[in-house]
Structure 1
Amino acid sequence: MLSIIIPAFNEGATIARILDQIRAVELIGGFSKEVIVVDDCSTDDTAAVVRRYAAEYPELALSYHRHAINQGKGAALHTGIRAATGEFVIIQDADLEYDPQEYNILLAPVLRGVADVVYGSRFIGGKPHRILFFWHSIGNKWLTALCNAFSNLNLTDMETCYKLFRRELVQGLQLQEKRFGFEPEVTLKMARVPGVRIYEVGISYYGRTYAEGKKIGWRDGFRAIYCIVKYGVLQ
């Protein structure tokens, strides 16, 4: 089974559409799906939309978890990871930037028996990629390079949403970051797991603007630098 973790904060406008896309995916290798939505104290109709969806489509194995106070994306992922029961875990944002039909691209190295962790890169593989934000792309590549220097990996997209993990490996990490620092922290800690096999595959990216609801900002970039130093050197 593949556990699909969806952290959500005020995503009532899009979350039913992403659930539709997930429901339509036919996974290779006989995998079934478990969907875990973690609502980080949304103030819109996210909760009502998800509960209606779960009632209408019980075959999706959709569970809903809600934080009593807003804690951040990383905290939502911690909750989802703890709740996961599938053999593998993948992260899915509640917006429409990533295509669930590409789960099978990430599962392919797993099914070949060569990978324990698979990252979906927006910068390799010739997939569709919306053109947005020059400085964001520069910052992303710089943060990836810095993380690579401390982890001794050669990733091209550390900040990607699409990360697939063998469940027991990610559940075995002591994760602390409650916001977007989750990305470098999980990467650096996973890189230290003895014998772990990390792969990277090309994926599409249908990015959105701030007007369309994008949340990450420059402060999160500085936090990522702090996390790379903290978890790359001090821990």
Structure 2
Amino acid sequence: MTMTSPVGFPGQPVQVNARIDSPLSRWLWLVKWILAIPHYIVLFFLWIAFTVVTVIAFFAILFTERYPRSLFDFNLGVLRWSWRVAFYSYDALGTDRYPPFSLGEEPDYPARLDIAYPERLSRGLVLVKWWLLAIPHYMVLGFFLGGAHVGWWSGGLITLLTVIAAVVLAFTEKYPKDLFDLIIGLDRWVLRVCAYAALMTDTYPPFRLDQGGSEPTAAQERP
């Protein structure tokens, strides 16, 4: 398989980067679930479209070994939009800047996602990677994300750690950096698996918690 590798893609085709905005409001996080409702409504329909596009891409890859670029860009846009809303809300609470209603790259926003476009994808892998090969990751993500939803609470580790960070922020006016690095590492794992399951890459997501706001360099990725 040949893959285009833009600058900034040292090893992983899925690049997740984020930075803490400063200052952060001590109490805004209490109402972000309300403020994010317009995004949740739009994303509900975008994810329906995402699923349909992924099914179309499945057959395109199966017969042509290619993910149509227009479909790839759309699904990447949905993932970017979702990541910005997640970062604003209860998967990180890393910024008070309201997410833009955009499928574009938005390089000025503190949460960014890029996926290298693959020139070729395996016909064989497309049959099994999204369910069979990804099962070990799904088990891990079930712990990260949880399954019981009560309001904005997902019952998962990521939401729990984010709420802990919010409480610390409320009393100290500081977001603990080590906790931020851990939360972004967990979010990065989720997004890597999501891109793999959505057939956007053949690179198997590593079972590795890459913490911190910046993607590791190629040298850091070597064991």
Q: TM-score range by the shorter chain?
A: under 0.3
TM-score, length basis structure 1: 0.24
Q: Which has the higher strand share?
A: 1
TM-score, length basis structure 2: 0.25
Structure showing greater radius of gyration is 2
